Amino acid sequence: MYPTLTRRRAATAIVTAALLLPLAACGSDGKTAGGATSDGSGSSAPSADLTVLAASSLTDVFKTEAAAYEKQRPGTKINFSFAGSQELAAQVKQGAPADVLATADTKTMDGLKQDTGTPSIFAKNRLVIVVGKGNPDRVATLKDLADTKLKVVLAAPEVPVGRYSKQILDAQKIVVKPVSQEPNVRAVLSKVELGEADAGLVYKTDAATAPGKVGTVAIPDAQNAVASYPVATLKTSKHAAAAASFAKWLATPEAQKILRDAGFQRP
């Protein structure tokens, strides 16, 4: 009698556990127990409103990344503040309320070690020469930028793209006297797009955001520079788990495909 009863109780317990397990693990909105949602890397984090400080060159691609991320995580909202990496660093040092930081160079991120978690590289980029539509001045190489008849615009040297620009020009012993030095890469692109400058140096991905409005001249790899993009959580974040989840998600296949489609290189 007792063995039969024991077997029946055991069977009942197994069936009950099987029915309750999915309910405990996931609600109807895809949230895991405790209000968390699974991220693409297999971990989970609670929903939250996140503020991400990101380099200007990430403006378009990060908006696409956010849409994909939020779709998977109902209740999560990502807000961006885009600016030159040096401006973002200043914001962090001044205590701006934010959760995640993504810069266009490792030097800026390394200068914020006391304010961030451990950074990781999620993308890379290269420079191109951006010119007016149809390339009316027939710019063909970096050396052409030294022509004093050209109105060349560059980013300021404290801006990552400005620093990369100086690096490749110095390496080729090319002296360029820019008509202006801009605070971020999008400002350089805008000057050329509006016809206020004849040429400039920008990231490949930025030039790609203005199809039909500007032309581009490729720079050989041997004369180019590779820009590395690190991301890190901020220690002052009030949503540490959610911030870490987004930063980690940028390395997932889905996020990386969005970056590749935008022209960024693999980290």
pTM to 2 decimal places: 0.82
- Cα(101)–Cα(52) distance, integer angstroms: 6
- For residue 151, give every residue at least 6 positions away whose Cβ sits within 8 Å of its Cβ, in sequence order, or none: 179, 196, 197, 198, 199
Write the pLDDT tens digit of every residue in 205-263: 999 999 999 999 999 999 999 999 999 999 999 999 999 999 999 999 999 999 999 99
Tokens of 74: 């109902």
Write the pLDDT tens digit of every residue in 165-191: 999 999 999 999 999 999 999 999 999
Complete domains list, the chain, with CATH: 34-124+229-261 (3.40.190.10), 125-226 (3.40.190.10)
Work out the pLDDT band at 46, boundaries 50, 70, 90. confident
Mean pLDDT taken over the chain:
87
> Do the Cβ atoms of 100 and 233 come closer than 8 Å?
yes
Give CA separation, 243 vs 95, 100, 102, 246, in Å: 17, 6, 12, 5
Work out the pLDDT band at 47, boundaries 50, 70, 90. confident
